[in-house]
Amino acid sequence: MATFGYTGRILTVDLSSRSATDVSTQDYADRFLGGRGLAAKIYWDEVSPEANALDPVNRIVFATGPLCGVPLIAGSRWTVCGKSPAVDRFSYGNLGGTWGAELKFAGYDAVAVHGRSDKPVYLFVHDGTAELRDAGDLWGKGAIDTREALQAELGQSAKVVAIGPGGENMAVMANVIADNDASGSKGLGAVMGSKRLKAIAAIGGGRRAQVAQPERLRQLLDQYRGLKRGFPYYDEAFYDVLCRFSRDTTTEIKMIPDTSARMKKQPCYGCQGKCPRRTYRAGDGGAGKFMCHSAYFYQPWAEQYYGEWNDVPFHATKLCDQYSLDTIAIDLMISWLHQCHEAGILTDQNTGIPISKLGSWEFIESLIRKISLREGFGDALAAGMDHAAEQVGPAAKGLVDNAGIVGEAGYNQPYGPRLYSTTGLFWATETRWPMYLLHEVATTVSKWVTWRMMGFGYFTSDLLRATARMFWGSEAAADFLTYEGKALAAKMIQDRGYARECLVLCEWLWPIVDLEFTEDHMGDPTMESKLVSAVTGREVDKEGLDRIGEMVFNLQRAILVREGHRGRESDTLPERSYTVPLEYDVSNAHCVVPGSEGEVISRKGAVVDREEFERMKDEYYQLRQWDVATGLQTRAGLEKLGLQDVAQDLEQRGLLAAC
Ligand code: SF4
């Protein structure tokens, strides 16, 4: 195949037999592009639905996309997929940093691993070759320490994805941690641990990506950079502020003391980094990732405990990365532990964890260590909050749904459907928090809120309606008081989002929903297809790209159905969405949305209307050409997308709609 955009090779590794073979990327790339699409296809072909996530037969697939390694596009993120022990279904993580680009420069578009080694190993990929090496000395080390040890051994240019003790001991919330502390969640670190695969190190030897049409790419990048220039959402200082948590950013801007000396931009490979991707330097000289949720998760508790800003939240984040535990799962668990402690169900004595000192370093250190090493009550926690609650008893179980992040009890659906009616369909059909889909809605509305409430920016009500027409299918999609137009909007956002996950483009900068330096400020939904065409030399237009996204979404749906998702019956929201009034959202503290004429509406106190949500599902299934009664896929719908083999498999299992 043409080498433009791809190395042409996928590495498959069987750890049981300690053998490795190459597979042609072309078998996958023509239809699935790369990233999630490529990984989902490997998974569909090779992982039986009966497989346990921690069985040797489970695959863990690390995949790049065709734009990976091309500078200035924000396209060098990469994906990790496999059956997740956290949800016992296929799931995925999307990571930044430079590991993906290095893998590609080392000669591979993706690595698919199965089997189980009889002793700890790491995989070393370089110069188009791969070798398994003993990792006995690394086993037990933290993920960051492992990375540093491998860099000391192989050279500082080595990029490493690794697990810490949480992954080794198969805690269901174990992450994979890569260079620049990039992390991928949903328990795929436990899958690495189950295979005794400590790390994958890649050295690319300074190679660079090959582009089919460099002049066309240069022109596109000039256009892209020029249009984005100076946009407030891409301002450096804006993101320094974002690293310190404020419950309400419209009334309270909190700066980290000595911000400019402590915060440093740390972009992914070749990216301009107009985003919150930051490292923090602590008072003791330690440095590491500190952005978005990973920076926030312990801040409210620590500030409450110590009464002032200090470095404990940073060290808490670093500790999670060392042990390779997912901060979102830990955040929810902390909230549940707190509530159980308040109710007198869990104590310092019966858990061996100083819950009474929540917010302190002592508490977080004890919690993370006990989970990772499965010590005492930590063993129950390592199996997940639901499992631990089951063990503790009904009263503790009753508090699980009220666990929330960033110190807000019950806040476990950011950008949720009580606030934005569109997002319910994302929450109902995905196996994890679908941030890359939610952000398109939440960020767009936030820009409008900024203009409408604070008089800042250019995102007027007219622009919002025009944007909704172009990106979400109708003006009705910009009226968040109704469910009208939301099914189409959800489908369009998902199809576009899945195409982006195949490329793998960063959702922080894509799609281009709006532009500052044009008269009408309208965005450009065609830029992704132009870029991939210029890089690969294979012409694809916007509609073609969306169609690939739709196909990959359907492939993933078929995987989930094969693994137990029951269509309509399973496309549900947590019960609290229908019964507990909305109080708060992290990006929109006053829960403000636009009505039909751009009027300001507060959704505080709102719940999801059960009947309207079911009607929205009807419409969504029709748009997807799924069976409305059951939510199962149809032969006609799958064949239209070229998924005849998938239809055949589902039919044989009795999982295709009868119509
Ligand atoms: S915008 Fe930020 S997160 Fe996205 S690719 Fe660039 S540096 Fe990475």
pLDDT at position 223 is: 83
Q: What's the average model confidence in pLDDT over 329-355?
A: 98
pLDDT level of residue 543 (50, 70, 90 thresholds): very high
Which one-letter DSSP state was computed for residue 490? H
Q: Which atom of ligand 1 is nearest to the CA of 74?
A: 5
Decide: 273 in ligand 1 pocket, CB within 6 A.
yes
Mean confidence (pLDDT) of the chain: 95
Separation CA 347–CA 340 (nearest Å): 8
Torsional class of 61: left (φ above 0), alpha (ψ -120 to 50), beta (otherwise): beta
Decide: 509 in ligand 1 pocket, CB within 6 A.
yes
Contacts of 139 (CB under 8 A, 6+ apart): 120, 168, 198
pLDDT at position 654 is: 97
Decide: 182 in ligand 1 pocket, CB within 6 A.
no
Decide: 505 in ligand 1 pocket, CB within 6 A.
no
Decide: 277 in ligand 1 pocket, CB within 6 A.
yes
pLDDT, tens digit, 9 for 90 and up, residues 488-522: 999 999 999 999 999 999 999 899 998 877 889 99
Q: What are phi and psi of 308, to 5 degrees?
A: -165, 165
Q: Which atom of ligand 1 is nearest to the CA of 76?
A: 5
Separation CA 623–CA 612 (nearest Å): 17
* Model confidence at 139: pLDDT above 50: yes
Q: Which atom of ligand 1 is nearest to the CA of 272?
A: 6
Q: Which atom of ligand 1 is nearest to the CA of 75?
A: 5
Q: Whose CA is nearest to atom 4 of ligand 1?
A: 506
Decide: 355 in ligand 1 pocket, CB within 6 A.
no
Enumerate the domain spans of the chain.
9-203, 213-412, 421-652
- CATH class for the region spanning 9-203: alpha beta
CATH pick for 213-412 out of 2.60.120.10, 3.40.190.10, 3.60.40.10, 1.10.569.10: 1.10.569.10
- The amino acid at residue 290 is F
| Ligand 1 centroid distance, CA of 569 (Å) | 37
Q: What's the average model confidence in pLDDT over 609-618?
A: 98
pLDDT at position 209 is: 87
Q: What's the average model confidence in pLDDT over 193-200?
A: 98
Place of tokens 């996928």: 10
Q: What is the pTM (predicted TM-score) of this model?
A: 0.97
Beta strands 522-524; 197-203: pairing state: unpaired
| Ligand 1 centroid distance, CA of 368 (Å) | 28
Q: What's the average model confidence in pLDDT over 386-391?
A: 98
* Model confidence at 73: pLDDT above 80: yes
| Ligand 1 centroid distance, CA of 536 (Å) | 22
pLDDT, tens digit, 9 for 90 and up, residues 25-51: 999 999 999 999 999 999 999 999 999
Helix (H, G, I), strand (E, B), or coil: what is residue 9? strand
Question: Contact 484/478 with Cβ under 8 angstroms?
Answer: no
pLDDT at position 321 is: 98
- Reading the block at residue 404, the tokens are 């929330």
Q: What's the average model confidence in pLDDT over 336-344?
A: 98
pLDDT at position 199 is: 98
Q: What are phi and psi of 637, to 5 degrees?
A: -65, -40
| Ligand 1 centroid distance, CA of 525 (Å) | 19
Closest CA to 197 of 18, 70, 319: 18
Decide: 603 in ligand 1 pocket, CB within 6 A.
no
pLDDT at position 235 is: 64
pLDDT at position 427 is: 97
- Reading the block at residue 327, the tokens are 């901060």
| Ligand 1 centroid distance, CA of 435 (Å) | 14
Contacts of 102 (CB under 8 A, 6+ apart): 158, 159, 179, 202, 203, 204, 269
Closest CA to 270 of 81, 89, 64: 64
Separation CA 189–CA 371 (nearest Å): 14
* Model confidence at 230: pLDDT above 50: no
Which one-letter DSSP state was computed for residue 298? T
pLDDT at position 254 is: 87
Decide: 95 in ligand 1 pocket, CB within 6 A.
no
Mutate which of 72, 231, 238, 277 for ligand 1? The one with the most ligand atoms within 8 Å of its CB, which is 277
pLDDT at position 227 is: 64
pLDDT at position 228 is: 60
Beta strands 121-126; 197-203: pairing state: parallel
Decide: 75 in ligand 1 pocket, CB within 6 A.
no
* Model confidence at 96: pLDDT above 70: yes
Q: How many residues does the chain have?
A: 659
**Fold classification of 421-652 (topology level):** 1.10.599
Buried b vs exposed e over 625-635: b needs ≥16 C-beta within 10 Å? bbbbebbbbbb
| Ligand 1 centroid distance, CA of 396 (Å) | 39
| Ligand 1 centroid distance, CA of 631 (Å) | 36
pLDDT level of residue 255 (50, 70, 90 thresholds): confident
Separation CA 433–CA 435 (nearest Å): 6
* Model confidence at 149: pLDDT above 90: yes
| Ligand 1 centroid distance, CA of 461 (Å) | 28
* Model confidence at 234: pLDDT above 70: no
Beta strands 121-126; 522-524: pairing state: unpaired
pLDDT at position 229 is: 54
Separation CA 234–CA 274 (nearest Å): 5
